[in-house]
C-alpha cells in the first residue's frame, strides 16, 4: 500500500458538514503547496467532482461493496500516485455500512454479532488503508454532553483511530469554549472550529448537491469560498501531522493494464475501436477507472456532450453513464442530429452501455420530451427515491456481461420507466432480489444495447470492460468489411 500520509474525514451522522470541510481542507492544503489526492468512500459521484476542483486532479471512490475489500488498498495507492497527502471523505456516520441481513444480527435472540464496523463504511475503509480519522461534529445543540458522544466513538471499535475533532456550526465564543472542554475531557484535540455560516452551502436538489460539472464557474467560486473559510479555521499543520501517523502496508498499486490482462488485448486492426463516452452537464456520473480500463483494453476513448455534439466520427461503441437528464431534457431533445445518430448506431447492432441517466436517454421520451428511441420505453421523473446496493446476476449474454455473471452495483434515482409497447424491449439485463427477498428482473439487453438503472464500478468488473471493447472491435471490423 502507498506510504503516502492520509486522513479520513468522518462524522457521527450524515449532514454534519463532511463535504464542505473535506473540500475546503483539500483546497487549503493545495494552496499551502501540497499535492493532494482526493477520495470519497462509497458510490457517490457528486462529491468527488468538488474534490477534483479543489485538488486540481481527479477525485476517486473507495467502495468495498462495489470493488471488494482486496482492491481498496491498490486503488488507493494508484489514486495517490504523485501526491504527497491523501484526504478521504467518508459516507454517512463513521460506522454506517451496508446492512447485510443475517450478518447484521446474531441468532434468534437478536443480539449484535460480528464486526461492529459496517461493511463498506467510512470506518471500514479507514481500517483498510490504515488511516486516522478526524470527526466533523455538527456542534449545534451540543454542549458538555459532547464528551459522552465522543467517548462512545473512541471506545466503540479500538481498531479505528480517531485523531481529533473539527467542530462545525459553532454558535459563539462561549459555546466554543464549552465544546473544547468536552473534547479535552476525552483527550481529543480540536483541529478547527467553523462558525455557523449559511454562505458556506453548495446548492442542492433532489439527489443531493448539484454536480460541479453542471455549475462550472459557480462550482469554482463555491470551492474557493470553502477553501478560504475552512482553510482559515483549521490547523493544517496538526492535520498533516495526524495524516503522517497512517499505518503503511506494502502493496502493488492497481493497474488497469493488469486488471484487463495485457495478453488478452489483441492488436487493433487497422485502428483501435473508438468508444464514445457521454459527458457534459447532463451526464456527469462516472468513475475515473472506467476510461483507464477502456484504454487499457485497446479502445480509443473520445468524449462528447449530448447537449450539443454529434456522435464522434468512426464511433464503434457508446457509453452513456449517469447524471441528470431530467434537468436538461429539452436541450437533449433539441439535439436531433445526435438522437438520430444514436438510433442508427443501435439499429446497426453496435454496442451501447447505458446506466441510469443513460437508460432514460435511450427511451422514446422523458417527461414528454422526445429522446433517442433506442428502447421502446418511456421515462418519468417522480417523487420516490430508489436507493441502495444490488447483488445482481446477468440474465443473458450481452455486449458487456456473460449470462450468470454476478456483480454488486448501486441504484440512485427518482425516475421510473414504463413500456411503450409489449414488443421490442428485448431481454432483461439483470435479475436480483429486493430487500424483502422477492425476485425481479431489471433493465434491458437488446441487440448491442445493455441498459439499466444499475451503476457498476468498472474496477470491480474489468472483464465486462474487456468484453465491451471486444464488442466494439467486432463492430469496427464489420464496418470495415462492409466498406471494403
Say if residue 470's pLDDT is above 50: yes
Work out the average pLDDT over 353-357: 97
Say if residue 297's pLDDT is above 60: yes
Crossing angle of helices 46-55 and 217-233, rounded to 10°: 70
CA angle 213, 313, 326 (to 5 degrees): 35
H helix intervals, 244-301 = 256-260, 288-296
Work out the average pLDDT over 65-69: 97
Give the span between the Cα atoms of 445 and 397, in whole angstroms.
Answer: 8
CATH 3.40.50.300 domain position(s) in the chain: 6-243
Work out the average pLDDT over 276-297: 95
Say if residue 108's pLDDT is above 80: no
Between 412 and 301, the higher pLDDT residue: 301
Say if residue 24's pLDDT is above 90: yes
**pLDDT computed for residue 227 by the predictor:** 95
Say if residue 349's pLDDT is above 60: yes
For residue 429, with 0-12 CB atoms within 10 Å meaning exposed, 13-18 middle and 19 or more buried, which class applies? buried
Topology of domain 259-483 in CATH is Rossmann fold (3.40.50)
Indicate the pairing of strand 352-355 with strand 365-366.
Answer: unpaired
Query: Which tens digits make up the pLDDT trace of 215-261?
Result: 567 788 889 999 999 999 999 999 999 999 999 877 899 999 999 98
Query: Which tens digits make up the pLDDT trace of 386-436?
Result: 889 999 999 999 999 999 999 999 999 889 998 765 444 578 999 999 888
What are the grid coordinates assigned to 220, written together?
469554482
Q: Please, what is the average pLDDT of the chain?
A: 90
Work out the average pLDDT over 200-209: 52
CA distances from 86 to 30, 107, 221, 244, 267 (A): 11, 40, 23, 10, 37
Work out the average pLDDT over 24-31: 98
**pLDDT computed for residue 117 by the predictor:** 92
Q: What kind and span of H or E run contains 479?
A: helix 462-483
**pLDDT computed for residue 383 by the predictor:** 86
What are the grid coordinates assigned to 14, written together?
450524515
Give the span between the Cα atoms of 291 and 289, in whole angstroms.
Answer: 6
**pLDDT computed for residue 175 by the predictor:** 97
Least-confidence region, from 55-59, 281-285, 467-471, 475-479:
475-479
Work out the average pLDDT over 431-459: 94
Say if residue 377's pLDDT is above 50: yes
What are the grid coordinates assigned to 197, written together?
455560516
Say if residue 133's pLDDT is above 90: yes
Confidence class for position 312, pLDDT limits 50, 70, 90: very high
**pLDDT computed for residue 111 by the predictor:** 42
Question: How many percent of the chain have pLDDT more than 70?
Answer: 88
**pLDDT computed for residue 221 by the predictor:** 86
Work out the average pLDDT over 108-130: 81
Q: Which residues contact 315 (CB under 8 A, 6 or more apart)?
A: 274, 275, 276, 302, 345, 350
Between 335 and 219, the higher pLDDT residue: 335
How many CB atoms within 10 Å of residue 190? 19
Least-confidence region, from 23-27, 146-150, 229-233, 246-250:
246-250
**pLDDT computed for residue 220 by the predictor:** 85
**pLDDT computed for residue 110 by the predictor:** 41
**pLDDT computed for residue 474 by the predictor:** 93
**pLDDT computed for residue 442 by the predictor:** 95
Please say whether the beta carbons of 325 and 282 come within 8 A. Answer: yes
Closest CA to 283 of 214, 330, 349, 223: 214
**pLDDT computed for residue 1 by the predictor:** 44
Place of cell 443501435: 346
**pLDDT computed for residue 217 by the predictor:** 75
What are the grid coordinates assigned to 65, written together?
461493496
Between 433 and 264, the higher pLDDT residue: 433
Q: Select the CATH number that applies to the domain covering 6-243 from these four: 3.40.50.1100, 3.30.1490.20, 3.40.50.360, 3.40.50.300.
A: 3.40.50.300
**pLDDT computed for residue 420 by the predictor:** 62
Q: Given 242, 352, 356, 466, which residue is catalytic?
A: 356
Between 217 and 61, the higher pLDDT residue: 61
Rg (alpha carbons) of the chain, rounded to whole number? 23
Give the span between the Cα atoms of 366 and 414, in whole angstroms.
Answer: 13
Does 183 qualify as catalytic in the annotation?
no
Closest CA to 351 of 383, 397, 389, 291: 397
Say if residue 167's pLDDT is above 60: yes
CATH 3.40.50.880 domain position(s) in the chain: 259-483
Say if residue 14's pLDDT is above 70: yes
Amino acid at each position: 500500500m502507498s506510504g503516502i500520509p492520509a486522513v479520513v474525514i468522518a462524522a457521527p451522522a450524515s449532514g454534519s458538514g463532511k463535504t464542505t470541510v473535506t473540500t475546503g481542507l483539500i483546497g487549503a492544503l493545495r494552496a499551502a503547496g501540497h499535492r493532494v489526492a482526493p477520495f470519497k468512500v462509497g458510490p457517490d459521484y457528486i462529491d468527488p467532482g468538488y474534490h477534483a476542483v479543489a485538488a486540481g486532479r481527479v477525485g476517486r471512490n473507495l467502495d468495498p461493496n462495489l470493488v471488494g475489500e482486496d482492491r481498496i488498498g491498490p486503488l488507493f495507492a494508484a489514486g495517490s500516485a504523485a501526491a504527497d497527502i491523501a484526504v478521504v471523505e467518508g459516507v454517512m456516520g463513521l460506522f454506517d455500512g451496508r446492512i447485510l441481513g443475517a450478518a447484521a444480527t446474531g441468532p434468534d435472540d437478536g443480539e449484535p454479532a460480528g464486526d461492529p464496523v459496517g461493511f463498506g463504511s467510512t470506518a471500514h475503509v479507514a481500517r483498510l488503508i490504515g488511516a486516522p480519522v478526524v470527526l466533523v461534529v455538527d456542534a449545534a445543540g451540543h454542549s458538555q454532553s459532547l464528551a459522552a458522544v465522543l467517548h462512545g466513538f473512541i471506545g466503540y471499535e479500538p481498531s479505528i483511530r480517531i485523531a481529533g475533532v473539527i467542530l462545525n456550526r459553532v454558535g459563539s465564543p462561549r459555546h466554543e469554549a464549552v465544546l473544547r472542554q468536552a473534547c479535552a475531557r476525552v483527550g481529543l484535540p480540536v483541529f478547527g472550529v467553523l462558525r455557523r455560516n449559511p454562505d458556506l452551502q453548495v446548492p442542492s436538489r433532489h439527489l443531493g448537491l448539484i454536480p460541479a460539472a453542471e455549475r462550472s464557474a459557480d462550482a469554482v467560486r463555491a470551492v474557493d469560498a470553502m477553501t478560504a473559510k475552512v482553510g482559515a479555521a483549521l490547523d493544517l499543520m496538526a492535520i498533516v501531522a495526524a495524516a503522517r501517523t497512517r499505518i503503511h502496508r506494502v502493496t502493488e498499486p492497481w493497474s488497469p493494464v493488469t486488471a484487463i490482462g495485457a495478453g488478452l488485448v489483441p492488436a487493433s486492426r487497422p485502428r483501435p475501436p473508438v468508444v464514445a463516452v457521454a459527458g457534459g452537464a447532463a451526464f456527469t456520473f462516472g468513475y475515473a477507472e472506467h476510461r483507464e480500463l477502456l484504454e487499457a483494453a485497446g479502445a480509443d476513448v473520445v468524449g462528447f456532450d449530448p447537449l450539443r455534439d454529434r456522435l464522434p466520427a468512426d464511433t464503434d461503441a457508446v457509453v452513456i453513464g449517469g447524471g441528470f437528464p431530467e434537468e436538461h431534457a429539452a436541450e437533449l431533445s433539441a439535439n436531433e442530429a445526435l438522437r438520430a445518430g444514436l438510433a442508427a448506431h443501435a439499429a446497426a447492432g453496435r454496442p451501447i452501455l447505458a446506466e441510469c441517466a443513460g437508460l432514460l436517454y435511450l427511451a422514446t421520451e422523458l417527461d414528454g420530451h422526445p429522446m433517442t428511441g433506442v428502447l421502446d420505453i418511456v421515462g418519468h421523473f417522480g417523487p420516490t427515491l430508489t436507493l441502495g446496493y444490488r447483488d445482481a446476476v446477468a440474465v443473458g449474454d450481452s455486449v458487456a456481461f456473460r449470462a450468470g455473471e454476478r456483480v454488486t452495483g448501486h441504484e440512485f434515482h427518482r425516475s421510473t420507466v414504463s413500456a411503450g409497447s409489449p414488443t421490442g424491449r428485448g431481454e432483461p439485463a439483470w435479475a436480483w432480489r429486493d430487500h424483502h427477498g422477492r425476485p425481479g428482473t431489471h433493465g434491458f439487453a437488446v441487440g448491442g444495447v445493455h441498459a439499466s438503472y444499475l451503476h457498476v464500478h468498472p474496477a470491480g468488473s474489468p472483464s465486462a470492460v474487456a468484453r465491451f471493447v471486444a464488442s466494439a472491435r467486432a463492430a469496427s471490423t464489420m464496418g470495415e468489411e462492409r466498406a471494403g
